[in-house]
Structure 1
């Protein structure tokens, strides 16, 4: 009896095993893990007999083609750079960058845009062809303004907090040195009046507080505008240090060479107690002698026409764009704006001016031939800096 019971149990177990095997073989194809490699002949046959899948939809966030003519806009509070297609007026990309992007600069060949991130202490390089970030370069503390040489292989970056100009080798994408500013400014200035605030809206405090930069390759010098000591520092690149300081004005925002090669123009808004109504015209060969050219209250940004004959200035308090003849200093035209106009960029031909409106999150497009607003573009939150890019030159 024991032998028969054991024999029956063996038969039952065998039948159960056969049943489980048949059940496993009956499973529908494709319900297990993805097949690695080519698979067996049966698997290939099953795949061939299966219905063709529906075409895949374009993934969300798929990069769009970069526009031929574009405007790059720093969105200060959202830590992005918006790319506006100027053919349609639409924003086609919003590129995440570092914290508090505050300045933009295009390479001489137009292939790159550099972004100074004042909150994260770095500079990003964006390809204008692909829209991708190609490099992140650590800079120090608060980069706020940039200049680049004509060869496009050396970038100079102002550090507002560290009071210095950093030198970046763009071939290796790395900072390779820096030029410190002197502790004291013009006539031993060290501290600003108590009324003044910095470019971030905070009390200015002691220090040079560099805010604007321009490169003079012919003389191998860099000129630095300082908010803290309201002066212009002259750095000799061959000597590797600051060699001189010129008197200037409160609230220096931007500087540019225009007209005569030895003439530097400076937009300075003033301070809470004394708002400037003129830009400075500085004769560098004349020892930093300055003239004032009236444009309206609180001049904040400045740009030159391609031929250097017209200077365009944006005034914040009066909200207008003013054109000046660089030879005579006479006003050639003006255009009333609105909101809180700020940074200014010109088209390649100089026939259009693009002006950021910080308060309303827009960009004015102004025809510089008749000083008329052509359109207003949406630019996102707090547009702080602009760069015009034209791929049609490639």
Structure 2
């Protein structure tokens, strides 16, 4: 009996091993590393698969002569103007009232936010969540910077500044740089604490601030001293003061940062400088009393607002000459270009309008 049980056990074990060996032998062989297909190999003639990164936005080709396509009637004396990052809202400082206007481009709805004193010029945070409006009265009282939440459309804080704060600008780290016209300095405000974090002395009297594309350099137009200051943003020290023509009112850089254009308000001219050397490339005659300037997204054209002749001069930045002139409203003051490069907004102070121009074929 014991022998029979032992024989059955041996037979069962052999059957199990046979099944295991049979299954192992029947399984498909795993290919070697050389035989395995290359997952990243791209068949010839085909586009690579998407990487998950959005494609870079196409820069529109700017027109030699922009086309007036619309006007918005608002306020008492529109002055400073900026456009939201999504191109949908235009913000305007109304300097004969105490209002900052919000223009919804699509619906044409216009609302306003009250500020403590007369708003003059305006800047917008990098994410579009805040608008900063410089303020002062005609007797130079009420000097300050109004901080507005764009979502709630409410005043966050009114910061006291030096006398006659002009065109503010948001720096590479989000801080707000405010040129103090009657103080011969730039005041810098921390965007988180909304308190002053630094001061930079410049020649009298700063009107405008702009930054290089990489944020490493700031430039100020110093109106009465006929100089442009070049400032290192890292240590906030003036590297040099460059002599320019009379009454530099506003400045703008090409998108590549290689050229700086300066408006000479009392001369009816603009100057173009090479930023590598800060030597003048050319001085160009434009309309009367050129106040503000903006460069197209493709860097090919500069738009100069001529307050005294009610028009915009278009300068070809490569040829360094005026290629067209466009009529706008009465006493144009400041110009802003939409981030997508498709629209130009000009405030017409005495006309109480904002003129909208198409800057490309789109």
Per-residue deviation at 1:217? 4.8
Per-residue deviation at 1:371? 1.3
Q: Which whole-Å deviations, capped at 9, do the CAs of 1:154-197 have from their partners, x for residues lacking one?
A: 1112122422222211111111223323xxxxxxxxxxxxxxxx
Pair 1:305–1:173, CA change in 2 (3 A) = same
Q: Which is worse superposed, 238-247 or 335-344?
A: 238-247
Using the size of structure 2 for normalisation, the TM-score is 0.70
Which of 210, 213, 221 is the aligned partner of 1:256? 210
Q: How does 1:1-394 map to 2 (within 5 A)?
A: 91-130=68-107, 132-161=108-137, 162-181=142-161, 208-218=163-173, 220-258=174-212, 261-270=215-224, 276-389=225-338, 390=342
Using the size of structure 1 for normalisation, the TM-score is 0.65
Backbone CA RMSD of aligned residues: 2.5
Counterpart CA distance in 2 for 1:170 and 1:252 is 27
Per-residue deviation at 1:382? 0.6
Counterpart CA distance in 1 for 2:64 and 2:109 is 23
Q: Which whole-Å deviations, capped at 9, do the CAs of 1:61-120 have from their partners, x for residues lacking one?
A: xxxxxxxx9x9xxxxxxxxxxxxxx79755443321111111111112222221110111
- The structure whose RCO (Cα within 8 Å, separation 6+) is larger is 2
1:228 match: secondary structure: helix
8 Å contact kept, 1:258–1:264: yes
Gaps of 5+ in 1: 1-68, 72-85, 182-206, 271-275
Per-residue deviation at 1:290? 4.2
Q: What is the number of residues matched between the two proteins?
A: 279
Q: Which whole-Å deviations, capped at 9, do the CAs of 1:242-284 have from their partners, x for residues lacking one?
A: 23322112232111111552321001210xxxxx332111223
Pair 1:222–1:88, CA change in 2 (3 A) = closer
Per-residue deviation at 1:144? 1.2
8 Å contact kept, 1:121–1:140: yes
Pair 1:285–1:387, CA change in 2 (3 A) = closer
Per-residue deviation at 1:379? 1.2
